[in-house]
């Protein structure tokens, strides 16, 4: 988008929606989000102005209605579409149909090519699959950044504190945000005293997230933490007693600090 805008001397504008379209079209649909709306807005704003449209208002529009609105309300003269994207309640299927509609409203429709990364076809489906299997390295490669979950630190069972490894229990801001596969991860978080601090993250079978930050001493309750997942270390497992758990956590933290 930036490249096409620069070639033409135009200002880039990113259009997104306030809700996952299927939540409007299908009442019982439970989305699995890679980004919340706030995260999406922050990421996209690095590349241009971000326009968030209410999907309920846009959904009834045909492709022609939508392009007419883009032309008249936002002075759009070039529309960059994904290589397999369709829009409008009438959902034209062929690229030439969109180009013909756009021409009626002074909009040049440009279709992008599929984006690949090595052997991977970059798509939300591939990224979700990688997260569900704990393959953080692949997920991060396809995203071009570490996958992250942001949430509030809440009170938990305090078991970690009793064995010398206090943890922050993080409740994700959006319940539809994808939580990676249960297990133990190397991550990094920003704390009140340190940016990108190495962290140990445990995700249990219920999706509960516990974070231990070896370099941090203090209280994180009622603070927001952004967890950036860097590496999958091992599967979650049960231990015979607290001593065995303590030894495993110590080994995990040593591994994290060596790699940090």
State the average pLDDT for the chain: 90
Q: Please tell us whether the domain made up of 140-259 is placed in CATH 2.40.30.30.
A: yes
DSSP symbols for the chain: -HHHHHHHT---EEEEESS-HHHHH-TT----BSS-HHHHHHHHTTTSEEEEE-HHHHTT--HHHHHHHHHHHH---EEEE-TT---STT---SHHHHHHHHHHTT-EEEEPPPPEETTEE--HHHHHHHHHTT-HHHHHHHHTS--EEEEEEE----HHHHTT---EEEEESSTTBPPPPSEEEEEEE--SS-SSEEEEEEE-TT--EEEE-TT--S--TT-EEEEEEEEEEE-----SSHHHHHHHHHHHHHHHHHH-
For 65-104, what is each residue's pLDDT tens digit? 999 999 999 999 999 999 888 999 998 989 999 999 999 9
pLDDT at 166: 84
Percent of the chain surpassing pLDDT 70: 97
Do 2-116 and 140-259 come out as alike in CATH topology?
no
CATH topology of domain 2-116: Rossmann fold (3.40.50)
Q: Where are the domains of the chain?
A: 2-116, 140-259
Rounded mean pLDDT of 127-142?
A: 95
pLDDT at 240: 78
């Amino acid at each position: 988008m930036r490249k096409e805008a620069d070639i033409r001397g135009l200002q880039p504008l990113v259009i997104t929606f306030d809700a996952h379209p299927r939540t409007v079209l299908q009442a019982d649909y439970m989305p699995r989000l890679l980004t919340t709306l706030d995260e999406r807005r922050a990421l996209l704003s690095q590349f241009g102005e971000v326009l968030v449209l209410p999907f309920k208002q846009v959904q009834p529009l045909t492709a022609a209605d939508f392009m007419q609105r883009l032309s008249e309300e936002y002075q759009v003269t070039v529309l960059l579409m994904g290589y397999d994207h369709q829009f409008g309640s009438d959902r034209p299927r062929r690229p030439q149909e969109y180009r013909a509609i756009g021409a009626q409203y002074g909009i040049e429709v440009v279709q992008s090519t599929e984006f690949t990364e090595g052997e991977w076809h970059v798509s939300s489906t591939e990224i979700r699959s990688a997260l569900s299997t704990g393959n953080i390295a692949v997920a991060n490669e396809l995203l071009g950044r570490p996958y992250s979950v942001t949430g509030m630190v809440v009170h938990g069972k305090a078991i970690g504190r009793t064995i010398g490894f206090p943890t922050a229990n993080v409740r994700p801001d959006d319940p539809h945000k994808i939580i990676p596969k249960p297990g133990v991860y190397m991550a990094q978080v920003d704390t009140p005293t340190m940016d990108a601090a190495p962290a140990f993250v445990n995700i249990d079978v219920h999706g509960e997230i516990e974070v231990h930050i070896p370099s941090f001493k203090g209280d994180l309750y009622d603070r927001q933490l952004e967890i950036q997942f860097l590496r999958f270390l091992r599967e979650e497992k049960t231990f015979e007693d607290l001593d065995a758990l303590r030894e495993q956590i110590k080994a995990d933290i040593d591994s994290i600090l060596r790699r940090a």
